């Protein structure tokens, strides 16, 4: 079994095999199955639902789209899938922001109040679909064709609706009983390198109106903007803004993220220092600066705590996933 790293094929060590189920884009170019721990779990026939949650940029949509494609192409008539993506569900709500596409184009710039408002609408829509589909699942258990539901929940901060939805669903489905659970929960941890790549793309969707740009930079990137060069035309201003954001915003964003994670983790564990020293160095971190590496490890620690302590999930039911990019932009999925 091999995976690609920076364009070079190498064997996965025995230690890696024991610690991680390696998911290489779910399928390679030829559609060959490669160590699909998650898919193998679904193939048993008992798993009927996959819930993925995590912060923006964690790869929730990518993972579910890959999983949906793989299941439909591999099993064809044997499995039906229903996939609920954050943007897609919002598009069917009565919210004007979602209907005109703002929800898709600008969701990375929402503040926490906006996240909570959108998440509440999304959670309600999702819950209604789940309720209607549960009956279908019960009716199809003994039929050749079975339904696998997949959904993502966006979690941002301690009080976000997505977080409370995860806890509520865990109680409803009684996931603490792994021998009877038909649902897998995945907590995805965003790799700082992945988020840097995402942030670098975001300015391309910005409007070039001065007030809009200044507001966005200050609210999301925490960058104080005192002026925009007056000697540039509108198109030139747009290019200049993109350059400023792509150089400055990633560092600012990681610093903010880093501080937020430290604050959250300290609230839940006074033994942070001892626990922190025991955390493994995760794949894909070798070339990262110290600060992103710390942020990544803290997020992994918090995800583990949330799944095992807060939700009380068995390791066969609640997994933590990682999506480090290599230099070629390829995603390796790791679950533990």
- Opening angle at CA 125, ends 121 and 126, nearest 5: 115
Task: Return d(Cα 54, Cα 303) in angstroms, integer.
Answer: 9
pLDDT at residue 272 in the model: 38
Residues 6+ apart with CB under 8 A from 251: none
Q: What is the DSSP string of 260-297?
A: HHHHHHHHH-TTHHHHHHHSPPPTT-TTS-HHHHHHHH
Backbone angles phi, psi at 290, to 5 degrees: -60, -45
Task: Return d(Cα 321, Cα 44) in angstroms, integer.
Answer: 20
Do the strands 8-11 and 2-5 form a parallel or antiparallel pair, or are they unpaired?
antiparallel
Backbone angles phi, psi at 75, to 5 degrees: -100, -20
How many beta carbons lie within 10 A of that of residue 63, not counting itself?
A: 25
pTM value is 0.63
pLDDT at residue 27 in the model: 41
Residue 223, token pair as written in the block: 């960058």
pLDDT at residue 332 in the model: 57
282, 296 contact by CB (below 8 A) = yes
pLDDT at residue 205 in the model: 36
Residue 119, token pair as written in the block: 């998440």
pLDDT at residue 334 in the model: 66
pLDDT at residue 262 in the model: 39
pLDDT at residue 163 in the model: 74
Q: Could you give the strand order of the β-sheet that contains 183-189, starting from the edge strand earlier in sequence?
A: 21-24, 332-335, 318-322, 183-189, 49-54, 146-154, 79-84
Coil vs helix vs strand at 4:
strand
| 3-state percent breakdown (helix, strand, coil) of the chain, nearest 5 | 55, 15, 30
pLDDT at residue 320 in the model: 82
221, 249 contact by CB (below 8 A) = yes
Low-confidence ranges of the chain (pLDDT < 50): 1-10, 12, 15-35, 101-106, 140, 196-209, 217, 220-228, 242-277, 279, 283-284, 287, 326-330
Residue ranges per structural domain of the chain:
14-331
Residue-wise pLDDT for 88-112, tens only, equals 777 666 666 655 544 444 455 556 6
Task: Return d(Cα 321, Cα 193) in angstroms, integer.
Answer: 15
Which residue bears the tokens 């610690």?
19
pLDDT at residue 138 in the model: 52
Q: Residue 333: which H helix or E strand, with range?
A: strand 332-335
148, 80 contact by CB (below 8 A) = yes
pLDDT at residue 36 in the model: 59
pLDDT at residue 191 in the model: 66
């Amino acid at each position: 079994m091999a995976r690609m790293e920076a364009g070079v094929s190498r064997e996965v060590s025995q230690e890696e095999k024991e610690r991680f189920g390696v998911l290489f884009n779910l399928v390679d170019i030829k559609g060959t199955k490669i160590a699909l721990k998650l898919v193998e779990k679904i193939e048993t026939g008992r798993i009927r639902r996959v819930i993925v949650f995590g912060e923006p940029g964690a790869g929730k949509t990518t993972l579910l789209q890959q999983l949906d494609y793989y299941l439909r192409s591999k099993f064809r008539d044997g499995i039906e899938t229903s996939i609920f993506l954050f943007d897609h569900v919002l598009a069917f709500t009565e919210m004007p922001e979602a209907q005109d596409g703002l929800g898709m184009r600008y969701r990375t710039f929402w503040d926490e109040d906006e996240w909570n408002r959108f998440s509440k609408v999304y959670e309600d829509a999702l819950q209604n679909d789940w309720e209607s589909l549960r009956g279908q699942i019960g009716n199809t258990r003994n039929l050749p064709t079975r339904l696998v539901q997949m959904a993502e929940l966006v979690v941002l901060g301690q009080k976000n609706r997505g977080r409370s939805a995860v806890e509520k669903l865990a109680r409803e489905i009684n996931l603490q009983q792994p021998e009877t659970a038909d649902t897998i929960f995945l907590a995805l941890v965003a790799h700082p390198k992945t988020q840097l790549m995402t942030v670098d793309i975001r300015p391309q969707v910005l409007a070039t109106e001065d007030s809009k740009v200044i507001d966005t930079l200050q609210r999301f990137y925490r960058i104080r903007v005192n002026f925009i060069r007056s000697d540039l035309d509108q198109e030139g201003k747009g290019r200049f803004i993109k350059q400023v954001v792509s150089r400055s915003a990633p560092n600012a964003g990681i610093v903010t993220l880093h501080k937020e994670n430290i604050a959250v983790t300290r609230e839940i564990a006074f033994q942070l220092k001892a626990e922190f020293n025991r955390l493994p160095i995760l794949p894909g971190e070798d070339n990262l600066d110290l600060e992103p590496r710390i942020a990544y490890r803290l997020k992994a620690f918090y995800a583990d705590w949330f799944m095992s302590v807060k939700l009380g999930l068995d390791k066969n039911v609640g997994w933590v996933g990682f999506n480090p990019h290599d230099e070629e932009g390829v995603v390796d999925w790791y679950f533990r």
